[in-house]
Every structure is written in structure tokens, then in C-alpha cells.
């Protein structure tokens, strides 16, 4: 009775959420700050003054939300952490018809995989990146060509492009990458696009870009095959709400919309549309939170390096770190004993590391106190 497809699936494994005690959760790259007051007000107004809207189907096209996202991206140049502080960002001209919305970026990725990646040639992706990429390849029967990282954990862009020219249905990577926390410059991405087949989708997953320096959104006007995936879960504190989106040229967005309408015509509910719109209208609040997270990230990196740890120069809201003489699993267990969760991957190459999400100043105080004992 069970299909062979279902038997062959290798599902995604999320970060643990134990219920035996209260933990400081630094294992899932969630935002430690609550959504803005404008979001709370908008949701309260919806429930109090428009309760009937919960009984009606929402706008299937998320029109108001898409307009708000476009305004927000243009206002911030696509990077909240440098909003108002960096003057050399290229001015964006994102329009609502360049936005596709879904229930979290995972659903957006699912629609994207179905829309642009055929099953007759392999998808090119880094060996170590977001672990949902191989899951969706298995789900849709798409071959996957995993390209090992360089020894310094940077993307091997030359090998990725070489593989793409040999045979591919498309290319995807996260930038900044997870779990390494490292980022390619926009200029490097431009060079990749210039050498990449123009008839294949080139996908950049920018889940963490608001904690970085620059976004590839500025390349959309030059490259019609570029698709950028983004999420509200990280910088907008919406991990519990589930809201994500893709940005691409209107022709590609139309394809994704047609696919979406073939399995779920109403993907984004009225509460998420309302909350997302309110969040986009309060970018200053989220920009300030992003800067706080960046500040605590740099503080933690400095502490670790001064105490014998090896960690990378993160461009995300997490760091990847290890310490000689103690395994990643041991570090995970020791800080868990102190009521703090970090992420350990039982995966070759990165098994000696732990991934630590950045929390509030108080949460980082507790983490540092725990790490001082290691």
C-alpha cells in the first residue's frame, strides 16, 4: 500500500525541542526578539474588529503583502543589518509582480523545485548547505550532484560551474551558507551567473542575508534566470508564523504561481498576510534587532577566539565553532547540561563543530558562562 516514493524518502530533521525543562534555545537559528508592536496591533485588530475574515478565504495572491515586501526590500536595499548605515548599496526596483509568497521558505522551495528543476539531469548544490535541498530532490525524484566545499568551508564555485556545464537542471546554494555561516560576495555571484547556462534556474537562498553585508537582489535586472528565496523566520521573528517568499523576474513568478494554484490556491492565511504586511511597514524595528544580533555575534566570536576556539567569520545569525581536544557532541552535551541548546551535526566534515545561534545579550552571557567551563 505504501508507495515506493514514500519508502525512499529521507525526511528533514529539525533542531530538537525537548520538553523536559526550559532551555535557552540557540539551536534553530530563530530570532530571540519578539515581532514588532505593529505586528501585535495588526493581529489584535484583525481578531477584534474583523473576526469574519477568519471564516473567509484569504486573498490567493497575497497582493497587499507582496506590495509591502517590495517596498521593504527597496527601502532596506535587501539587507536589514546595514539599513541606514551603508551608503554604497545599489538602489533596488523590486515590484510586487516579482514576489511569490508561501507558507515559509520551505514551501517556496518546494514550489521552486517543481517549477524549475527537471528530473532528467542533476541539480548542482554544495555538499554542505541547507539540508532540505536533498530532501526535495528525493521528494521530486531529481538527481543531486553535491559539490564538496573547499578546505576553508567556502563554496567551490569553479567546481560547481564545471558540473553545471557538464550536465545540470539548475543550481542552488544558500548565501550566506548554512551551516558554515560564510558568504559569497555579490561580485562573485555575478561572475558565476555570467558563466552559468542562461536557460537554467540559478537559485540563491538568502535566508540569513539580513545579518550580512549585501544581497544578490541587485542582480535580478541583469539575469533573467536568477531566483532569490527569502524568509520571515530569521530577521523578522516569524519562525512560528511560517512566511517566506521568492523574488525573481515576473515571468518566473508566473510559473511558480501556476504551480502553486495546481495544489493549493490559498497558501498564505489571512493572519500571516496581515502580520507580514505590518512587519514590512516597521523595518526600522527589525533593522535595529538585526544590528543587536550582529553585535552579539561579534562579541561571541571574539570570546571564542580568545579562548582557544576555532570559528569562522560569520555573516549570519549563528556561528560554526570547534575546540581542539573536545568533540562537537561533547560540547553540545555540556552546554545542554547547563540548560542551553546548540546544534550538533553527526555529519562527516562538520561533526567536530557545533552551530550556535545568536541570542540576546543576556542569553549570550549565560552561554559564555557555560563555555568558560569547557
Question: The domain that contains 55 carries what CATH number?
Answer: 3.40.640.10
**pLDDT the model gives residue 87:** 64
Within a domain: 4: no
State the residue range of the domain holding 339. 13-34+287-371
Q: What does each C-alpha distance from 283 to 38, 201, 210 come to in angstroms?
A: 11, 30, 11
Q: What does each C-alpha distance from 333 to 179, 248, 323, 337 come to in angstroms?
A: 19, 42, 14, 6
Whether residue 193 is found in the same domain as residue 88: yes
Q: Is the torsion defined by CA of 273, 66, 225, 265 positive or negative? A: positive
**pLDDT the model gives residue 11:** 83
Whether residue 52 is found in the same domain as residue 65: yes
Number of separate domains in the chain: 2
Q: What percent of the chain has pLDDT over 90?
A: 89
**pLDDT the model gives residue 4:** 80
DSSP single-letter state for residue 145 = E
Within a domain: 2: no
Give CA–CA dist 316/296, Å, rounded. 11
Listed residue (225, 284, 223) closest to 252, CA to CA = 225
Q: Residue 13: pLDDT above 80? A: no
Q: Residue 88: pLDDT above 80? A: no
- What does the block give as the cell for 209? 542575508
Q: What does each C-alpha distance from 52 to 41, 46, 84, 272 come to in angstroms?
A: 18, 9, 40, 16
Whether residue 231 is found in the same domain as residue 303: no
The pLDDT tens digits for 102-148 are: 999 999 999 999 999 998 999 999 999 999 999 999 999 999 999 99
Cβ atoms of residues 260 and 111 within 8 Å: yes
pLDDT band, very low/low/confident/very high, at 34 (cuts 50, 70, 90): very high
Whether residue 244 is found in the same domain as residue 298: no
- Segment 202-215 shows an average pLDDT of 98
pTM: 0.95
**pLDDT the model gives residue 16:** 77
Within a domain: 332: yes
Q: Residue 285: pLDDT above 90? A: yes
Amino acid at each position: 500500500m505504501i508507495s515506493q516514493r514514500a519508502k525512499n524518502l529521507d525526511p528533514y530533521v529539525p533542531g530538537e525541542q525537548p520538553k523536559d525543562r526550559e532551555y535557552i534555545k540557540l539551536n534553530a537559528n530563530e530570532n530571540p526578539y519578539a515581532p514588532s508592536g505593529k505586528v501585535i496591533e495588526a493581529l489584535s485588530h484583525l481578531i477584534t474588529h474583523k473576526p469574519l475574515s477568519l471564516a473567509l478565504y484569504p486573498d490567493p495572491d497575497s497582493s497587499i503583502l507582496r506590495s509591502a515586501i517590495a517596498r521593504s526590500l527597496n527601502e532596506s536595499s535587501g539587507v536589514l543589518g546595514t539599513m541606514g548605515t551603508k551608503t554604497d548599496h545599489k538602489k533596488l526596483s523590486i515590484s510586487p509582480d516579482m514576489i511569490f509568497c508561501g507558507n515559509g521558505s520551505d514551501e517556496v522551495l518546494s514550489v521552486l523545485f517543481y517549477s524549475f528543476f527537471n528530473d532528467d539531469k542533476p541539480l548542482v548544490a554544495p555538499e554542505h548547505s541547507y539540508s532540505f535541498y536533498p530532501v526535495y530532490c528525493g521528494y521530486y525524484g531529481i538527481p543531486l550532484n553535491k559539490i564538496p566545499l573547499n578546505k576553508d568551508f567556502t563554496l567551490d564555485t569553479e567546481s560547481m560551474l564545471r558540473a553545471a556545464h557538464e550536465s545540470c537542471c539548475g543550481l542552488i546554494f544558500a548565501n550566506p551558507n548554512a551551516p558554515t555561516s560564510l558568504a559569497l560576495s555579490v561580485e562573485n555571484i555575478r561572475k558565476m551567473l555570467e558563466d552559468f547556462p542562461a536557460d537554467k534556474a540559478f537559485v540563491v537562498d538568502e535566508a540569513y542575508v539580513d545579518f550580512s553585508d549585501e544581497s544578490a537582489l541587485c542582480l535580478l535586472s541583469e539575469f533573467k534566470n536568477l531566483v532569490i528565496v527569502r524568509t520571515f523566520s530569521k530577521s523578522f521573528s516569524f519562525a512560528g508564523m511560517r512566511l517566506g517568499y521568492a523574488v525573481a523576474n515576473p515571468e518566473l513568478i508566473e510559473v511558480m504561481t501556476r504551480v502553486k494554484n495546481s495544489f493549493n490556491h490559498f497558501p498564505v492565511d489571512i493572519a500571516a498576510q496581515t502580520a507580514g504586511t505590518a512587519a514590512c511597514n516597521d523595518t526600522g524595528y527589525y533593522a535595529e534587532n538585526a544590528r543587536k544580533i550582529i553585535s552579539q555575534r561579534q562579541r561571541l566570536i571574539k570570546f571564542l577566539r580568545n579562548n582557544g576556539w576555532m570559528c569562522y567569520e560569520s555573516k549570519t545569525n549563528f556561528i560554526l565553532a570547534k575546540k581542539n581536544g573536545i568533540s562537537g557532541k561533547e560540547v553540545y552535551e555540556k552546554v545542554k547540561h547547563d540548560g542551553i541548546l546548540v546544534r550538533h551535526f553527526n555529519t562527516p566534515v562538520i561533526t567536530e563543530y557545533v552551530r550556535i545561534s545568536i541570542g540576546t545579550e543576556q542569553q549570550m552571557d549565560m552561554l559564555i558562562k557555560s563555555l568558560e567551563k569547557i
